[in-house]
Structure 1
Amino acid sequence: MNTNFKLLEIEFDYNGQHQVITPVLLQDEHERILVDCGYPGFIPHLEKALGRYGIGLESITQIIATHHDMDHIGSMAELKRKFPHIHIITHELEKPYLEGKRKSLRLEQAESSLEEIPPEAKPYAEQFIRFLQSIETAEVDRTVSGGDTLPWCGGIEIVHTPGHMPGHISLYLPAGKTLIAADAVVIEDAKLAIANPQYTLDLEEAVRSVRRLLEYDIEQLVCYHGGLFQGDVRQSLHELLRTYPIDGTSAQV
């Protein structure tokens, strides 16, 4: 079977800061699967990134949403509107948030922080809240849970990696010993790190999810923030775990 993955590195400015995100394209003979899709209005960015490989956005057949943060699902509703044939897949815990049946956990977090921040920071926080409120919802076509395997690209194993959000998932492709981490880990200064630990909804659970990654034989690790990790994956995961205590003890593995 011809399996492949391509990194869709997207560079852009957001609130005056230069940022890079890395959605992933998975493909085989029959399917083209987009893993996460950027902020609202990112269709032109996705088209440009796919165009570097000679691929049109209209050929996408599935979108896997790893979780409902704005930079991962912001363009999902627009993509579904423009290309109704695309199926949206997410963890069962994420479905009500993607469909707008429950308030975004990130929005709840931002709203609850309003009383704690200094007055000079409130205008930015209120602007951020309005932005979160503007994220469009989209119907989910299929839900998955940890341990499920999607039947494409030689099998895509769903790895439930909660912490950053309760329904956060990573994807493991045994055919290429590749793990798509989403925000389970990020790359900072050439090392693996917890994504925005101050905003992670459950830090201890996030650290346990990092430990769970050690159960997999990973030769290639892709982070949404940082791209393809260059280095010894297992060693770097061990180093990360040593920096975070769990239940008051050192996170030795």
Structure 2
Amino acid sequence: MNHCHLLDIEFAYNGQIQSITPVLLQDERETVLVDCGYPDFTPLLEKALLQNGVTFDSITRLIVTHHDMDHIGSLAELKRKYPQIEIIAHEREVPHIDGTKKSLRLEQAESTFDKLPDEAKPHAEQFIRFLRSMEPVPVDRTVSSGERLPWCGGIDIVHTPGHMPGHISLYLASAKTLIAGDAVVIEQGKLNIANPQYTLDLDEAIGSVQRLLDYDMEQLICYHGGLFSGNAKEALMDLLRQYKP
């Protein structure tokens, strides 16, 4: 039997309570984690896993949707602590995860720094230091668009660029479930583009929302917002109408 568990993790950040939703996929042989939070989130992940009767010792794979720090922050620590875990990412994300190339989010932050008002620069400097502190991690397996991973009833790789060039979403045909990563987020009960002002290519991000409509989904899971309540396809079309009137 295949299982899909949402790991709802709440935490304090910049004086506010925030949340992320990594996803746990299971079948008789494999236990797959999708994304792993900020640095030092291992204890929070371990607690969330235990609530679902799972420990990290049983995790076999970890799929990274993209290399933003809230998705890969704990990756290096987890790989050291649980070396059996196979790290999986899209081929375009790999050099930014393994340190061969600079983080694209860091490039973006550095390139826009001089244009910021003076009052915003201290926070930006802190953000840049944070990004520079991210520890590189070797990727064990690369995936590409349209590939199907043979676990948990089949995990289809859906290339959804825009937020990041190598961003992927995952489609579970057996459960009619789409794991969107940051392709879309839930804000006040509605779907939106994740941080459109920081999206590396907004046109591509809009095209990725359109691509999600190709999939027969009964459930849509967002990393920021969790499980969407309502008709996901209608909500995606409403979102597209905001950007394509």
TM-score (norm 2): 0.99
Aligned twin of 2:3: 4
Aligned counterparts of 1:218 and 1:149: Cα–Cα separation in 2: 17
Q: Is 2:181 the counterpart of 1:182?
A: yes
Q: Secondary structure at the match of 1:103?
A: coil
Q: Secondary structure at the match of 2:205?
A: helix
User: How far apart are residue 59 of structure 1 and its match?
Assistant: 1.1
Q: Is 2:43 the counterpart of 1:40?
A: no
Aligned twin of 1:120: 119
Aligned twin of 1:202: 201
User: How far apart are residue 113 of structure 1 and its match?
Assistant: 1.2
Correspondence list, 1:1-253, <5 A: 2-245=1-244, 250=245
Which segments of 5 or more consecutive residues in structure 1 lack a partner in the other structure? none
Aligned counterparts of 1:235 and 1:121: Cα–Cα separation in 2: 38
Aligned counterparts of 1:123 and 1:186: Cα–Cα separation in 2: 28
Amino acid at match of 1:158: I
Amino acid at match of 2:45: L
Amino acid at match of 1:9: D
Aligned counterparts of 1:58 and 1:113: Cα–Cα separation in 2: 42
Amino acid at match of 1:99: D
Q: Following superposition, which runs of at least 4 residues in structure 1 exceed 2 angstroms of deviation?
A: none
Q: Residues 115-171 of structure 1: CA distance to partner in whole angstroms, max 9, x if unpaired? A: 110111111111110000001111100000110000001110000000000000000
Amino acid at match of 1:242: R
Aligned counterparts of 2:121 and 2:188: Cα–Cα separation in 1: 31
Q: Residues 186-243 of structure 1: CA distance to partner in whole angstroms, max 9, x if unpaired? A: 0011111100000000001000000000100010000000000000011101100000
| Count of residues in correspondence between the two structures | 245
Aligned counterparts of 2:123 and 2:115: Cα–Cα separation in 1: 14
Amino acid at match of 2:147: D
Amino acid at match of 1:90: A
Aligned-residue CA RMSD (Å): 0.6
Amino acid at match of 1:208: G
Moved more, 36-45 or 119-128: 119-128
Q: Secondary structure at the match of 2:84?
A: coil
TM-score (norm 1): 0.96
* Identity rate, percent: 68
Aligned counterparts of 1:173 and 1:67: Cα–Cα separation in 2: 18
Which segments of 5 or more consecutive residues in structure 2 lack a partner in the other structure? none
Q: Secondary structure at the match of 1:63?
A: strand
User: How far apart are residue 51 of structure 1 and its match?
Assistant: 1.1
User: How far apart are residue 103 of structure 1 and its match?
Assistant: 0.2
